[in-house]
């Protein structure tokens, strides 16, 4: 595909009522990607709307409690008005003993140079507590080509202006977690 990958993006459209959404539509978009390692698996989407798995472009070891920016081996030119979200896969902790340091990563479309290589900010959390409550820390081992995180491209949040008021005029919900457990 000569340095291009095909992305399908979810794009909700508003009806005449500003708070009502029409059924989901998928549009096709072409996005330029540079692979810094020719042996790295190519990004692909199994089904429309799914996130893209991303792969480690290096071998690394991350000790318990230490952080490391894992090289993902790609630079991507996001279209104007779009951003990318990078998050761990649901099995990242189980398989590798790492988590994303800050929950998710957000990459804006200004980060698009040839050497703006994407990374996954990881913290080592592999270990276990024994019957006495002692932590047995282990080292997480990541191999080049391991699927360690996922990425989604989405529209940027629109420009928002806040109108300051003294009262909102809505019923109170009684705090966080007020809807119960079930």
Cβ burial, residue 124 (10 Å; 0-12/13-18/19+): buried
The Cα diameter of the chain in Å comes to 63
Written as six digits, the tokens of 154 are 């989405």
Is 108 a residue of the active site?
yes
pLDDT tens per residue, the chain (182 residues)?
333 333 333 333 333 444 444 444 556 789 999 999 999 999 988 677 789 999 999 999 999 999 999 999 999 999 999 999 999 998 999 999 999 998 899 999 999 999 999 999 999 999 888 899 888 999 999 999 999 999 999 999 999 999 999 999 998 877 766 566 66
Cα within 13 Å of Cα(168), Cβ side: 5
Given 19, 37, 53, 108, which residue is catalytic? Answer: 108
- Cβ count near 36 (within 10 Å): 15
Which superfamily is assigned to 4-11+22-155 in CATH?
Deoxyuridine triphosphatase (dUTPase) (2.70.40.10)
């Amino acid at each position: 595909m000569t340095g291009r990958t095909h992305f399908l993006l979810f794009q909700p459209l508003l009806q005449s009522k500003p708070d009502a959404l029409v059924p989901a539509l998928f549009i096709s978009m072409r996005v330029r990607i540079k692979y810094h390692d020719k042996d790295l698996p190519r990004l692909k989407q199994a089904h429309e709307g799914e996130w893209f798995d991303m792969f480690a472009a290096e071998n690394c070891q991350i000790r318990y409690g230490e952080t490391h920016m894992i090289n993902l081996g790609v630079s991507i030119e996001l279209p104007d008005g779009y951003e990318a979200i990078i998050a761990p896969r649901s099995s990242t902790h189980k398989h590798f003993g790492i988590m994303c340091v800050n929950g998710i990563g957000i990459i804006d479309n200004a980060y698009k140079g040839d050497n703006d290589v994407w990374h996954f900010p990881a913290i080592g959390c592999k270990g276990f507590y024994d019957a006495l409550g002692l932590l047995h820390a282990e080292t997480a081992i990541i191999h080049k080509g391991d699927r360690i995180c996922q990425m989604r491209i989405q529209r940027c949040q629109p420009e928002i202006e806040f109108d300051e008021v003294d009262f909102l005029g809505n019923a109170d919900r009684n705090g966080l977690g007020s809807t119960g457990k079930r």
